[in-house]
Amino acid sequence: MQSLGRKSLERIEPHAVDAPENFYRSRWCLWTCRGALEWSFGDAAQAEQFFTRAQEASPFPGAFFCFGQLAWRSFVGAKKEPSPFEAQLNESSKHDPTAAQAAVLLRIWNFWKKQYPNGLFRREEQWLRDYLQAASQTPFVRDEARRLVELLDRMRRLNDAFHSAPRKRWWQNDGSWRQAWETQRQGSEILITHAEALLKEAGVTRFQTLQQPFDPTVMTAVATERAVDIPPQTVIEELAPGYRLRGELLRVAQVKVSL
C-alpha cells in the first residue's frame, strides 16, 4: 500500500505546475498530500520535507494550513495523531482573506466537497464556511458577484428571444434555418445553466419572490396591478431576480405587486 501510494503521487508530479493559483494542478497541493501520506507511513522526516516545500510554494499560508489540515485528516486522521496545522489554522482564521485568497479557498472548498460529497470533517467545514463568509463581505468580492449576476441577466434576456421564432412562411422551405434557431436556443440554455451552477458554487443564490408577500428589505416594487383572488401586497411577477451572497443580500429583486 505504501509503495502504491507513493508511485501514484510520483506519477502525477511531472504533470503538476508551479503556478500557485492553478489549484487543481499545483505542486504545493501534491506535496501537501505527499507529506500527509508519508507521515501516515511513519516517515516524519520525509513528511516534513514535503510540508516545507508545499508551504514555500503555496499562494498564502492560510491556504497551506487549510489544505494541509484536510489532507492530514484524510491520510492520518484514522490514527488520531495531533495535526501540525491546527494552531496555524486557528490563527489564520483571525484575519479576513483578500478576494484573491478567497478564490483559492473556494477552490479548496469545492475540491474537498467532491472528495467528501456527504460533508467535510465537521470542524474544518465550519472553519471554511466562516472564512469564506468573511471574504464574501469584502467590497471587491461583492462587486464582482454583482457583475456576474448582471451578466446572467443579459444571458437570460437573450435566451428569451429564442423562444419567439419568426412566423413560418408557407412559400418558403425554412426547415434547416429553424433547426439552426433551435440549436442556438438549446445552446443558450446550456450556457445559462452552467453560469447558474458556477454562481451557486461561489455562494451566490437566487431567492424566491413569486407568490410571496412583498418584503421591502429584499424587494423593490417597480409596478403594481389589481389582481383577483390574490391578497394585496403579493408578488405577482418578478421583473429582475434577487440574489444573496452566502446568506447576505447581494441584490434586491424588482417585482410587480398586487393591490
pLDDT in tens, the chain (259 residues): 455 566 666 666 666 666 555 555 678 888 888 888 888 888 888 888 888 888 888 888 888 888 888 888 877 765 566 777 877 877 777 776 776 777 777 778 777 777 777 766 777 777 777 777 766 666 767 777 788 888 888 888 888 777 776 666 665 666 777 777 778 878 888 888 888 887 887 788 899 999 999 999 999 999 999 888 889 999 999 999 999 988 888 899 999 999 8
* 203-259 CATH choice from 3.90.1150.10, 2.70.98.10, 2.30.22.10, 3.60.15.10: 2.30.22.10
What distance in Å separates the CA atoms of residue 110 and residue 117, rounded to the nearest whole number? 10
Q: Which pLDDT does position 140 carry in this prediction?
A: 65
In sequence order, the 6+-apart residues with CB closer than 8 A to the CB of 254 are 219, 220, 222, 238, 239, 240, 242
Q: Which pLDDT does position 7 carry in this prediction?
A: 65
What distance in Å separates the CA atoms of residue 165 and residue 95, rounded to the nearest whole number? 54
DSSP-derived pairing of the beta strands 242-245 and 204-207: antiparallel
Grid cell in block for residue 182: 433551435
Q: Which pLDDT does position 222 carry in this prediction?
A: 93
Domain locations along the chain: 2-136, 141-202, 203-259
Residue in 238, 244, 196 with CA at minimum distance from that of residue 221: 238
Q: List beta partners, residue 238.
A: 255
DSSP-derived pairing of the beta strands 235-240 and 204-207: unpaired
pTM: 0.56
Q: Which pLDDT does position 6 carry in this prediction?
A: 65
What distance in Å separates the CA atoms of residue 37 and residue 202, rounded to the nearest whole number? 30
Contact 28, 37 (CB under 8 A): no
